[in-house]
Homo-oligomer: A and B are copies of this chain.
């Protein structure tokens, strides 16, 4: 059965079901016994559900060590920026152990954190810093945009034998959507076409998927049929689906909440400029956040973020672009 439920509840449901299914799955973090999370400790006990001190390096290192030793820890790291105090453990330890040990060691752990809290959280808490984790060998990264994907990607993350960074979007926490009951797995490395279309390919992740869909709706009124693709995982990144779409539309706009040079957008642009070049009829346009820290004040915060207007303008730009080469 499919019910409507909030994004955050869908994530928790996945963790809960996996914990019920496999007693090696653990849940640790600073907030795991907080309000709304009581079910975990109640049903799985204080051994498998543990509150950690404010010590991210220890939390993540402990998770890696427990994973080497056979457990499958999920670490709730709260916010993406908090990973930065433990960055070495995220990008230079557990993700390399399988390789460095010649295949002896496995490190199945999930690091869950929120990002993109552009709601007045100011300079140090609002980043869309997933770009930092792309291109890191051995690390997988999921960025769900809907409750169903959030549930399915979390379940897949927990079953994966590699470290997975699961980044949920803070501005989507209470957004509701249909979510399948029971086991629901969304495969990694498979982009989802959130809206089919034939004129322009629009790729977006997380919160910007919804901005892109809204823009697509408006553009439809102008007679422009936009296809909206959500990669869902950015490592692995499903370039094939994007290339297939561009082969059809010839036009690509990339939307990203990150700053331009730390974005998924730039990575996709690079792939398509190499592997989809012959399909392109217009420049690949990126609609990203501007290159600033996020200011506290709403006027300034909104100014630097991608939004519907900017997406619509970019699509008009690529549709209006003259085709071909000098």
Q: Is A219 an interface residue (CB 8 A)?
A: no
A267 at the interface (CB under 8 A from B): yes
Which candidate, A42-50, A131-139, A176-184, is the interface stretch facing chain B? A131-139
Tell yes or no: A96 within 8 A of B by CB.
Answer: yes
Once A280-B325, A325-B278 are accepted as A-B contacts, the answer to whether A263 and B99 lie under 8 Å apart by CB is no
B-contact bits for A278-313, CB 8 A (1 contact / 0 none): 111111111000011101000000000000000000
Q: Choose, from A24-32, A79-87, A165-173, A187-195, the stretch at the interface.
A: A79-87
User: Are B263 and A135 in contact (CB-based, < 8 A)?
Assistant: yes
Is A265 interfacial (CB 8 A cutoff)?
yes
Contact (Cβ within 8 A) B293 A137: yes
Give Cα A134 to B259, complex, Å: 9
- The residue among A138, A237, A271 with the most chain B CB atoms within 10 A of its own CB is A271
Q: Number of residues in A with C-beta < 8 Å to the partner?
A: 63
Q: Decide yes or no whether A266 CB sits under 8 A from chain B.
A: yes
**Minimal beta-carbon separation of A305 from chain B (angstroms):** 13
Q: Give Cα A164 to B122, complex, Å.
A: 23
Are the C-beta atoms of B135 and A92 separated by less than 8 Å? no
B262 touches A273 (CB 8 A): no
Complex: A324 Cα to B138 Cα, angstroms? 37
**A91 lies within 8 A of chain B by Cβ:** yes
Partner of A124, one of B96, B266, B278, B325: B96
**Pair A284/B273 contact, Cβ less than 8 Å:** yes
Contacts of A260 in B (CB 8 A): 135, 270
Q: Which residues of B contact A122 (CB under 8 A)?
A: 100
Apart from A81-B88, A99-B123, A135-B262, 5 more pairs, CB < 8 Å: A92-B124, A100-B293, A137-B292, A265-B270, A279-B325
